[in-house]
Amino acid sequence: EVQLLESGGGLVQPGGSLRLSCAASGFTFSSYAMSWVRQAPGKGLEWVSSISGSDGGTYYADSVKGRFTISRDTSKNTLYLQMNSLRADDTAIYYCAKQIGGSYSSRLFDYWGQGTLVTVSS
Amino acid sequence: DIQMTQSPSSLSASVGDRVTITCRASQTIGTFLNWYQQTPGKAPKVLIFGASSLQSGVPSRFSGSGSGTDFTLTISSLQPEDFATYYCQQSYNPPPTFGHGTEVEIK
């Protein structure tokens, strides 16, 4: 059974940093592209970042480019999102999502974690 | 970026009703259109991929259709567990983009 378990969310001041983690199990982690998708309170879904399973390529939404870094540790089956220079509009639930294929081009999210809440406020 | 427009933004329906939600893409996306269901406090779950293919384990009362720019999600007979918010998402061009959601409420 595929499981994705996020952690690392919390309250942070504007300009601060946070690192999210997503522990994966139930599938061959290194073979699949993985993504972060966020949802601001009461709002819709916004893709944030992806990392390819095939070549480790990374991709970012314009809204987070230069501030967020996605990475993965295949020895620990864990996905990360390092978030720097956080702003109030980064406040959201952050979901870790598995893509159906190894490449970023497989932009269908077939499994999602339960999410972790990031609140950016002074 | 490809913009996805859903309508309506919300609807009220009764158990047993047939419900239709539409999604329009700002440019042609072939059949690279996916539908997700999100119940309150839960993560999204994929229902339909490739515009019309039912994800494993999803009840057959859900169906999808369309190609190009116009797509439809249909629930043939609404069940109590179907009251949720539904999102379309295009997987044709990066970045992947979602519609703003359609909330299906109990009448």
Nearest neighbour of B94 by CB, restricted to A59, A100, A114: A59
Nearest neighbour of A44 by CB, restricted to B55, B87, B91: B87
Measured CB to CB, residues of chain B less than 8 Å from chain A are: 32, 34, 36, 42-46, 49, 55, 87, 89, 91, 94-101
CA distance A20 to B78: 37
Strand, helix or coil for residue B83: coil
A115 touches A25 (CB < 8 A): no
Chain B interface includes A112 (CB < 8 A): yes
Per-residue confidence in pLDDT tens, chain A, 122 aa: 999 999 999 999 999 999 999 999 999 999 999 999 999 999 999 999 999 998 899 999 999 999 999 999 999 999 999 999 999 999 999 999 999 988 888 889 999 999 999 999 99
Tokens of A55: 């070549």
Using one digit for the tens of pLDDT, what is the confidence trace for B36-71?
A: 999 999 999 999 999 999 999 999 999 999 999 999
